[in-house]
Amino acid sequence: MRSNKGLMIIIFMLGCTFFITLTTHGWDFYQQNIGRNHSFIYKSCCNSSLSLNEIFISAFAALRSTKKQDLRKDLLRKYCAGVNQSLDDLKDTDLKNFIVDDKHGIIYCYIPKVACTNWKRTLIALNYSEPYPDPTSFEHNWVHDSERFQYLNDFPKIDLYSSLLQAKLKHYTKFLFVRDPFVRLISAYRDKMLNYNQYFYEGYVRLILLLYKKQTKMTYNHKVAKKEGLQPSFYEFIQYILDPRTEKKEPFEPHWRQMYRLCHPCLIEYDFVGHQESLQEDAQELLKMLKLEDDIKFPPSYENMTSGNSVMDWYQSVPLEDRRKLYRIYEEDFLLFGYRRPTELLDD
């Protein structure tokens, strides 16, 4: 009897939430957002093995996730308002970071240093075989470097001039994951400037050492360079990014290119915007949204993931004026994706 009474209270509260949402935002909003979670809420309420407390938690977690996504997408609409650009202005090279999964109706724009290796693993696993294997079962070097990611070739790329482009962008679930821009730069430095391969040594590390450390007579072999302890400082890496000559030659390398330039959130209306800072929670919510939560588990995060708490320590070597210049370069990423301006780094 007490259980039935509790269930009635929950149904009443959810009914109130539905009425308020419908009154405030309209039926279309309900269908697009709250409605996609209704089956999850219904399943929780009707599962007799769950306690009332668990039912409350499940129901309101679904609603909280919907609200979080709504706020993130509202922020994109706010800062993208008035953008005088369309998909027709993009080139094929602007869509290099898009992976299309026709089997599940997914379009993923991957951003280096934002869990993209694990999302690539997950998409491969979803398309590999039945039953879906554990994404972590794939060898790391298959997916770490996008240039050598052989299985990505099995996914169709977005063809800018294809008649299917508009249909896929309209009907497929489009998602991306983003990260605090200054933390992402730290991660890029640690991975590509300290743990470099031949490509990054020859194209970037060696150049930075020549330009800003004035180092000469350097080897061309990255293994020899590592043995000799050759590596740029974090500030020298930042100097390279700030140098106006850098982008005159070619656009920023994708590992430190601005996120909005990789995924074009003002031209493509994303259905889901995930954050690295809440990666596991957001990944689970996305898999629920795709109705794939029972088919696959998103891999756990790396233990050595750069912490936002250490940002001040990393940027202490960068003079104040250079930090401000760096913020201006990445300001659109901060604004579009809801990251606060790091006043402790930028103000006197």
pLDDT in tens, 104-157: 999 999 999 999 999 998 998 888 777 777 887 766 544 443 433 334 455 666
Residue 298 CA to residue 280 CA, distance in Å, equals: 8
3-state secondary structure of 186: helix
The predicted-structure confidence for 17-73, as pLDDT tens digits, reads as follows: 544 444 444 444 434 444 444 444 444 445 555 565 554 545 555 566 789 999 999
**Nearest CA among 243, 226, 100, 237 for reference residue 172:** 100
Q: Is the pTM of this model over 0.85?
A: no
Contact 327, 346 (CB under 8 A): yes
91 pLDDT tier (thresholds 50, 70, 90): confident
Phi and psi (nearest 5°) for 294?
A: -90, -10
Residue-averaged pLDDT of the chain: 81
The predicted-structure confidence for 254-297, as pLDDT tens digits, reads as follows: 999 999 999 999 999 999 999 999 999 999 999 999 999 998 99
Contact 183, 157 (CB under 8 A): no
**Nearest CA among 163, 186, 140 for reference residue 308:** 186
**Nearest CA among 271, 276, 298 for reference residue 287:** 298
pLDDT of residue 47: 52
3-state secondary structure of 178: strand
Contact 109, 98 (CB under 8 A): yes
H-type helices in 26-139, by residue range?
27-32, 38-46, 52-80, 116-128
pLDDT of residue 145: 39
pLDDT of residue 193: 98
Contact 162, 90 (CB under 8 A): no
pLDDT of residue 262: 96
pLDDT of residue 316: 94
Query: H or E segment at 120?
Result: helix 116-128
**Nearest CA among 247, 254, 108 for reference residue 168:** 108
Contact 324, 242 (CB under 8 A): no
3-state secondary structure of 175: strand
Query: H or E segment at 173?
Result: strand 173-178
